[in-house]
Structure 1
Amino acid sequence: MESAIDQHLKCPRTLSRRVDDDYQPPFPMWVGRADATLTQVTMAYLGIQFKEEKRAQALQAMRHIVSSFALPDGPGNHDMSYHLDNQGYGNFIVVGYWRDAGRYCRWMRSPDVAGWWDSDARLADGLGYFREVFSPRAEQFETLYAFKEDLPGVGAVMDRISDDIEEHGYWGSMRDRFPASQVDRMRPSGQLEVLSGEPAKGGRVLLKGHDNIALIRSGQDWVDADPEERALYFNEMLPPLQDGMDFLRDQGKEIGCYSNRFVRNVDLEGNLLDIAYDIGHWRSLDLLERWAESHPTHLRIFTTFFKVVTGLKKLRLYHEVSVSDGATQWLEYINCHPQTGMLRDAKTS
C-alpha cells in the first residue's frame, strides 16, 4: 500500500488529509505515475460543431485535426469522441495529451497548425470550432484507475502504474490525491470572462479563464466486457450516470458547473465505440466535491459504483481531475452557438 502522491511530489503537509493515517480502503485502486521529468502536461480538447447535414464536412475536419498530430511535437496520446448537445448540435471532440507543455506550444504555433486554426476559412465553412486547452503542473492533477494496463487519457503519457493506493473510497479522496493538496486549498480566483468577440453573434470569441478551474474526465470502457458485465453497465450503472450527466449539462450553472459533456468515443469514420466519458468543467474543485458528496444525482452514481466495483473484470472505469492556472488556459470558440462549453457562463465586460 502506498500514497497516491509520488515520493518526488511529497512535501511537508500544512493541510491534513480527510482520513486517519491508519485508514484501509475497501478495495484496490491505482494511479498513474510519472518520473520527475514530467513537470507539466497539456490537455487540449479540440472540437468541431455541426448540424447533421454538415456531418460529412465535420468528419473531414476531425480527420484533419488528427492528421496534424503527426507533425513534429504532436501529442503522445489522443482520442476522438462525439457528443449531441442540448441545442441539437453534434460535436466531434479530438483530445490530445502532451507530456511537455513546451512541445504543445511548438506544435500549436507551427505554420500548418496555426495557419489552419487562424484561417478565415474557419469563419466561412459553416462549421463551429472550439479549443479548450489546459496545462496543469504535475502537482495540479490526479488520476484513479480500476485497472492497471493500457491507461487512457493523461495516463498514457505517464510512465507506469502505482501499487495499491491508500487515498480512495471516501469523500475527499479526490482532493487528497492531488500533490498540491498538501499545502494548497486550490481555491478559484477571478471569474470567467469574454476577452474578445460577442458570443451571441458568433465569429471568434476568446474567453479569459481563472486560476483553479477544475476539469474532470470520468470514463467507462466496455470494449472487452462479457455479456454479464455489459448488462451490469447498461442496466445498473448507466441510468443513474446518464441522469447525473443530464442534470449537470442542463442545470449545472446554478451549482458551479461551467460545462458538462457526456461523450462517446468514435473512430475516424465517426462510428461509435464501446467507450464513453464525461468532460466536466467547474469553477472550483470545492464545488465539484460539494456536488459529489451531497447531490442525489451523484450519490446514486457513487453507491452503484461501490456495489459493483469488486466484481468487475473487463469493464474499465477511471477518472482524471486537474486544476490549472488561468495563464495556462486557452478558451476559443469559432462560430459556436452561445450555449457551447464555457461560453454559456462567461461574463461580458
Structure 2
Amino acid sequence: MESAIDTHLVCPRALSRRVPDNYEPPFPMWVGRADEQVTQVTMAYLGVQYRGDAQRPAALQAMRHLVDSFGLADGPVHHDLTHHTDKQGYDNLMIVGYWRDPAAHCRWLRSPAVANWWSSQDRLSEGLGFFREIVSPRVEQFETLYAFQDTLPGVGAVMDGVSGDINEHGYWGSMRERFPIAQTDWMQPVGDLRIVAGNPVDGGRVVVAGHDNIALIRSGQDWIDTDAAERALYLDELLPTLHAGMDFLRDNGESVGCYSNRFVRSIDLDGNFLDESYNIGHWRSLDKLERWAESHPTHLRIFTKFFQVVTGLTKLRLYHEVSVSDARSQVFEYINCHPQTGMLRDAHQECLR
C-alpha cells in the first residue's frame, strides 16, 4: 500500500494525520499520478446559458463553436460536455477543458480566434449568456480519488498513470490528507469574492475577483457499463439521495459556505444525455466543504445510503477531484448571465470611484 501523495511531493509533515500509522482502509482506492515535470494544471469551465427551447439550437451551436476552438493550437488535452438546469430555471451547457500546462492554456486563451470571439460585441446581443470559470492549481494543491484504475476522467485524463492501493481514504479527513500541501498548510481562505467590473443586475460583462484557497470539487458517477440490476440500484436507491443533497447545496449553499453547486449530466455534441453525471461545487474553503460532508444531514444521508448499497456496485465508476487555488490563478467572468450564476451570487460589489 502506498501514500496518495507521490514520492517527489512528500515532505516532513508539520500537521498531524487523523489516523494512526497502522491504519488500513476498508477497500481499495486509487489516485492519478503525474510526471514530475507537471507542476500545475488548468481546469476551465466554459458555459453557455439559455432559457427555453427556442434558444436551445443557438446554445448548442455556441457550445460546438467552443469545442471546435479546443482544436486550435494549445487546446486542452481533454474535455467533456454537460448540461444542467439551475435554481432559476435556466439551462446551462458547460464545456470543461483540462490542460497539463497553464502556459499552453494562456496561449490558447489569448489566441486571436479565442480572444476575439469572447470580446466580440456579438456576445452581448445574441440572447445567450456565457461564462468562464478557470482555476490553475499547482500539483500540491489538488487531490484525486478513483474506485477504478482505467480511463481516468476529469483531471485524471491529463495524468500519466495511476497509483497502487492508497492509504488515505475511508475516514473523515482523508480528502485533506491526500493534498500534498496539507503536510504543512491548512489552506485557509484569504479575502472575499469581489465584483471588479460590471454589475450583475445590469447584465453585460461582469468580472469577479476570487480569493486564495477557494475549493473546487468535481464528484462523478458513470453507470455506462452497469447491468440492469446495478443500474436500478444506482438510479432508484442511490441517485435520489445524492440528488437531494446536491439540490440542497444548489438552493441553500450560501448557508454552509458553498458559493456555487451544479449537478450536471454529461451530453454529446447534439445535447443528448449520456449515462454519466458529476457535481461541480465551488466552496469558500476546504474546511467549509469538510464540515458539510462530515456533519450535515444531506451528506450523511448520501454517505449512509452509499454504504448500504456498495456491495452491489461492481461496474458503477465513482470518483472525485478536489483542488484549491491561488487568487492570481483564478478567472471568473460572465456575459449576460443572471445575477445568481456561479460566483456572482456571493460576490461583493466594489464601490466605484
TM-score category of the 2 structures, normalised to the smaller one: over 0.9
Q: Does 1:35 align with 2:38?
A: no
What is the rounded CA distance, in whole Å, between the counterparts of 2:59 and 2:235 in structure 1? 29
Q: Deviations over 1:102-131 (max 9, x none)?
A: 100000000001110111111111000000
Task: State the alpha-carbon separation in 1 of the partners of residues 343 and 307 from structure 2.
Answer: 32
Q: State the alpha-carbon separation in 2 of the partners of residues 331 and 323 from structure 1.
A: 15
Shift of 1:161: 0.6
Between the aligned partners of 2:62 and 2:241, the Cα distance in structure 1 is 34
1:312 deviates by: 2.4
Question: In the alignment, which residue of structure 1 is the partner of 2:224?
Answer: 223
Task: Please name the residue that 1:103 is paired with.
Answer: 104
Deviations 1:222-273 (A, max 9, x none): 0111111101111111111011000000001011000000000000000010
Shift in Å, 1:310 = 4.2
User: Which segment drifts farther, 304-313 or 335-344?
Assistant: 304-313
| CA offsets 1:280-312 (integer angstroms, 9 cap, x no match) | 000000000000000010001112222333442
Amino acid at match of 1:173: S
CA contact (8 A) 1:216 1:321 kept: yes
Give the structure 1 partner of residue 93 of structure 2: 92
Task: Tell me the equivalent position of 2:2.
Answer: 2
Structure 1 residue 258 and structure 2 residue 267: aligned?
no
Residue type at the aligned position of 1:182:
Q
Gaps of 5+ in 2: none
How many angstroms apart in 2 are the aligned matches of 1:332 and 1:106?
A: 18
- Cα deviation digits, residues 130-150 of structure 1 (max 9, x gap): 000000000000000001110
1:5-20 superposed matches below 5 A = 5-20=5-20
Q: CA deviation at 1:76?
A: 0.4
- Mapped to 1, the partners of 2:248 and 2:287 lie a distance apart of 18
CA distance in 2, matches of 1:105, 1:313: 40
Structure 2 letter corresponding to 1:32: G
What percentage of residue pairs aligned between the two structures are identical? Answer: 70
Partner residue in 2 for 1:327: 328
Consecutive unaligned residues of structure 1, counting only runs of 5 or more, are none
Does the Cα contact within 8 Å between 1:44 and 1:97 map onto a contact in 2? Answer: yes
Structure 2 residue identity aligned to 1:233: Y
Given residue 118 of structure 1, which amino acid in structure 2 is its aligned partner? S
The AA in structure 2 aligned to 1:82 is H
How far is the alpha carbon of 1:99 from its aligned partner?
0.5
**Distance in 1 separating the partners of 2:18 and 2:349:** 38
Match of 1:169 in 2: 170
- Which secondary structure state, in structure 2, belongs to the residue aligned with residue 204 of structure 1? strand
Amino acid at match of 1:235: D
Q: Contact 2:230–2:312 (CA<8 Å) still a contact in 1?
A: no
Rounded Cα–Cα distance in structure 1 between residues aligned with 2:187 and 2:307: 28
Aligned residues: 349
RMSD: 0.7
Alignment of 1:9-158 (within 5 A): 9-52=9-52, 53-158=54-159
**Amino acid across the alignment from 2:2:** E
TM-score (structure 2 length as normaliser): 0.98
Tell me the TM-score normalized by structure 1. 0.99
Specify the code of the residue in structure 2 equivalent to 1:253.
E
Q: Shift in Å at residue 51 of structure 1?
A: 1.1
